[in-house]
Amino acid sequence: MTIRFLPVLFKQRWWLRVLLACTTVLVLFSAAVPLRAAGRLAVGLAPTGQVFVPMIVAPTPSKGYYVDCTAGNDGNSGTTEGTAWQSLSKARTAPLAPGDRLLFKRGCTWTGPLYLDWNGGSGRPIVIDAYGSGYLPIVQNAQYNVIIRGTNLLIQNLATRGAPQSYDPGCQNQPKGWQIGFRFEASAAYNTLRYAQATGLTHGVKVTSGANHITIVKNVFAGNNLMYTLDASNPSNDAGANGIVLEGDDNEIAYNQISGSDACSFDFGRDGSAIEVYGGQRNRVHHNTATNNATFTELGTSRSADNTFAYNLVTSSTAKANFLVTEGAGGGRGPVLRTKAYNNTVYLTSSTSAAINCDGGCATNILTLKNNIIWSEGKIGYTDQPCDEAYNLFWKADGKPGIFFPTPSNKSPTSKIADPQLVKASVGGGDFRLGASSPARDAGTAESVQAGFSVDLAGVGVPQGAAVDIGAYEYKP
């Protein structure tokens, strides 16, 4: 907004200019959110259920550069829609400074890679975004479609997709290939990815070792089911089909929709996961909705530690579906220390499903499992030694859930075997809020709140009653 002043009055009253300048500084200072970067998500600061995103304040006008795959020309200035560039290689040369924008036209498709190498400023990220109308701009069919090496970047409203490079007729014609949608390299830090889409890839997003403080929020990752290793001759090397892979530390994964990370595997029957942690530490995975993935999360390597999963809704009808897979020191890739799962609602309908798998010396310092609703028509799960399990609710339609922690007698006395009385339990379209007479009401521990989770999956404040409810939804009349 431009403020106009009367020239004569402004000239005569020099003190008014000083007052107005001071007022402007105060307004800008008070409006700025003191978050480093485009934003680590601040858990619990949005009781309405909206994701907290830092305000972007630009004291001086920022520059914008435009890219149009059809009407653009790399000989143009790129500074207006009418003088847009055309190629991703030209876009890489944009002289972006903190607060500047690089904008891709909606309805356009490019073959990757798109490199994002710039460094924004604390509180003034460089914004990578879309303009115009129509579907999101797409970057596709490269080994790595979008490569992020910079810092303090806000990346939003982009789509990326892959295509199978081959099929394996010996494993249900499983698609194969090595393609990653958004790849955060080791130098990437304090970046946000939001309102984006990734589909048809080996990994929708990969946060590589060294990358840190990446916020991945309110995105859609669907059908990322390419296997990059599918080997009938080796019993333990099949890999691929992941929504998100976390090798880096201190990342926030929240309010995403992740579905269809499920693939044929010679080694495991089915493989793939919504979120795989392979070496990452202190990652917080919360308030996500995951549907029909082979596994919600699998953790491996002894470097992985202190990862938390809270208020996620996990439903699947796939064969051999899992919620959480981890291991102790004797598991070959462990120990994976101090994984915590709070207030998740898990609903697995296959008779071959097993929600929890913790072997190789599971222990209380390996896995904490509290305030979760786990309904599995296969097994609730297996731990070869007792873990830190309490205040959970377990169920199966016949009233006899298979609990092996490592025996049924190892279930905590604070946990329940009972129908959770959900409004409507159904994969892909259910309503997993608690009914008024649910035994999950006021039956949890406050440990999840103490860990920083103060709203449920619907944005309802926790607790509403005398105690925290079990599951991803807090009951509210």
What pLDDT digit, counting tens, does each position of 406-450 carry?
999 899 999 999 999 999 999 988 999 999 999 999 999 999 999
Residue 29 maps to a domain: no
State the pLDDT confidence band at 353, using cuts at 50, 70 and 90.
very high
pLDDT at 240: 80
pLDDT at 178: 93
pLDDT at 441: 98
pLDDT at 19: 34
Indicate the average pLDDT of the chain: 88
Residue 117 maps to a domain: yes
pLDDT at 68: 98
Say how many C-beta atoms besides its own lie within 10 A of residue 183's C-beta: 22
Lowest mean pLDDT of 47-51, 64-68, 144-148, name the range.
Answer: 47-51
Range of the domain at 88: 64-450
Residue 457 maps to a domain: no
377, 402 Cβ separation under 8 angstroms? no
Question: Which CATH number covers residue 390?
Answer: 2.160.20.10
Residue 36 maps to a domain: no
Q: Please work out, in degrees rounded to the nearest 5, the angle formed at the alpha carbon of residue 148 by the alpha carbons of 45 and 37.
A: 30
Phi, psi (degrees; rounded to nearest 5) at 322:
-125, 155
CA 246 from chain centre, in angstroms, equals: 10
Q: How many separate domains does the chain show?
A: 1
Residue 144 above 60 pLDDT?
A: yes
pLDDT at 231: 80
State the pLDDT confidence band at 235, using cuts at 50, 70 and 90.
confident
Cβ-based neighbours of 190, under 8 Å, separated by 6 or more: 36, 37, 38, 40, 122, 151, 152, 212, 213, 214
- Confirm whether pTM is higher than 0.75: yes
- Of the two residues 456 and 234, the one the predictor is more confident about is 456
pLDDT, one tens digit per residue, over 238-281 is: 778 999 999 999 999 999 999 999 988 888 888 899 999 999 99
Q: Read off the pLDDT of each residue in 317-334 and give the average, rounded to a whole number.
A: 94
pLDDT at 431: 98
pLDDT, one tens digit per residue, over 3-53 is: 332 333 333 333 333 333 443 333 333 333 332 333 333 333 333 333 344
- Of the two residues 294 and 14, the one the predictor is more confident about is 294
3-state DSSP call for residue 171? helix
Residue 317 maps to a domain: yes
Say how many C-beta atoms besides its own lie within 10 A of residue 59's C-beta: 12
3-state DSSP call for residue 354? strand
Identity of the amino acid at 47: P
Looking at the chain, the whole-number percentage of residues with pLDDT higher than 70 is 87
- For the chain, helix, strand, coil in percent to 5 are 10, 40, 55
Residue 294 maps to a domain: yes
Task: Give me the sheet containing 64-67, strands edge to edge.
Answer: 64-67, 101-105, 126-131, 153-156, 189-194, 212-217, 252-254, 284-286, 308-310, 339-342, 367-370, 388-390
Q: How far is residue 365's CA from residue 368's CA, in Å, rounded to a whole number?
A: 8
Residue 44 maps to a domain: no
Identity of the amino acid at 322: N
pLDDT at 23: 38
User: In the 8-state DSSP scheme, what is residue 294?
Assistant: S
Q: Read off the pLDDT of each residue in 164-189 and give the average, rounded to a whole number.
A: 94
Residue 43 maps to a domain: no
pLDDT, one tens digit per residue, over 94-129 is: 999 999 999 999 999 999 999 999 999 999 999 999
